[in-house]
Amino acid sequence: MLKRFVTSREALLLGAIILLLALIASRFPAFITPANLADVFTDTSPLILLAIGQMIVILTKCIDLSVAANLALTGMVVSMINVAAPELPIIVIVLIAISFGAVLGMVNGILVWKLAIPPIVVTLGTMTIFRGIIFVISDGKWVNSHEMSDAFKAFPRMEFLGLSVLGWTAIVAVIVFSIVMTRMPLGRMFYAAGGNPHAATYAGINVGKTQFLAFTISGALAGLTGYLWVSRFAVSYVDIAGGFELDVVAACVIGGVSIMGGIGTVGGALLGALFLGIIKNALPVVDISPFWQLAISGGAIIIAVALNAQANREKGRFILKRAE
């Protein structure tokens, strides 16, 4: 078990993260203090939550480009609900956010499942639609901090054992979905639907329905993240989290999730998100321009895709060799 982990993609990425932290600490030792690392993890938590949902979708040979728009729309909806009913308990707000996000995810899932529209086309369309709905319901206006209730803003910032509720939410999601993906039939269905759809169909798995469930989970996590995002930053507007879907896909790819489906782990998505999160937090500290920040992130994505492709080729060669 230990030998398998040492040679795994996750171990390689973990080593890269440790090396990155060591390089940063050589110039700015304060960056690796426990308090600052907790802040970095909190900043990265929304990316972790969305990356878990995206990983499940990609496992089924799909992709969800609407996660950031889902986050923004759900965040605007719960913000407006809070303004209209500030006495509403936070647990109710959280449940509304998860449910509303799940419904948006279901829209994607139904279009992919029942109408057989390519996922990239569906989610590109719904991404634009969701952003448009935000503008319609808000009339293009912002919901600002002074309009939100104190309880609404305080929940994700509350701390327990030195880490915020936002950070603990990401940890709980990692644990829950690690169990789902490795110990439960639903997780095996996701891997089967993307790894070999034809064999999955013969085994009695409804591939379309499995993809629908993947989009629903991704939407629910995006909805939860929507509330946590707007309450933490105490603002909601049309373009919130604009372009964030690209970071989500990048975190998955860097974490070893194959865009061809069937390959990936929750741990890999977590490490990919942490890698990007550390880069985004560290590069401004070392006074690197925004251009190079984007270039480094893009380079990491290209290298990750190349490694994934090389691994798939080696696997194919190995299978053919054994067949001979």
Which pLDDT value is given to residue 149? 95
Q: Over the stretch 202-256, which tens digit does the pLDDT of each residue have?
A: 999 999 999 999 999 999 999 999 999 999 999 999 999 998 998 999 999 999 8
* pTM score, whole prediction: 0.92
CA distance 53 to 186: 14
- Please state, in angstroms and rounded to a whole number, the distance separating the CA atoms of residues 256 and 251: 9
- Predicted confidence at residue 221, as pLDDT, reads 98
Taking 60 as the threshold, does the pLDDT of residue 321 lie above it? no
Alpha helices in the chain (DSSP H): 2-6, 9-27, 34-59, 67-84, 90-114, 119-138, 150-154, 165-183, 185-195, 197-202, 207-233, 244-254, 266-282, 290-323
Angle, vertex CA 58, rays to CA 276 and CA 232, nearest 5: 45
Q: Rounded distance, CA 63 to CA 214, Å?
A: 10
- Are 120 and 65 contacting, i.e. CB atoms less than 8 angstroms apart? yes
3-class DSSP assignment, residue 236: strand
- For residue 34 the two structure tokens come to 């426990």
Mean local confidence (pLDDT), 48-66: 97
Asked whether residue 82 carries a pLDDT value surpassing 80, the answer given is yes
Note the pLDDT of residue 316: 42
Burial grade of 151 (CB within 10 A; 0-12, 13-18, 19 or more): middle
For residue 57, pLDDT over 90 is answered with yes
Per-residue pLDDT band at 311 (split at 50, 70, 90): low
pLDDT tens for residues 119-169? 999 999 999 999 999 999 999 899 999 999 999 999 999 999 889 999 999
Residue 312 pLDDT exceeds 70? no
What per-residue confidence (pLDDT) applies to 1?
55
**Range 162-179 average pLDDT:** 97
The CA–CA distances, whole Å, from 161 to 35, 134, 164, 167 equal: 11, 36, 8, 11
At 166, list the tokens.
């936002």
Annotated domain spans of the chain: 45-284
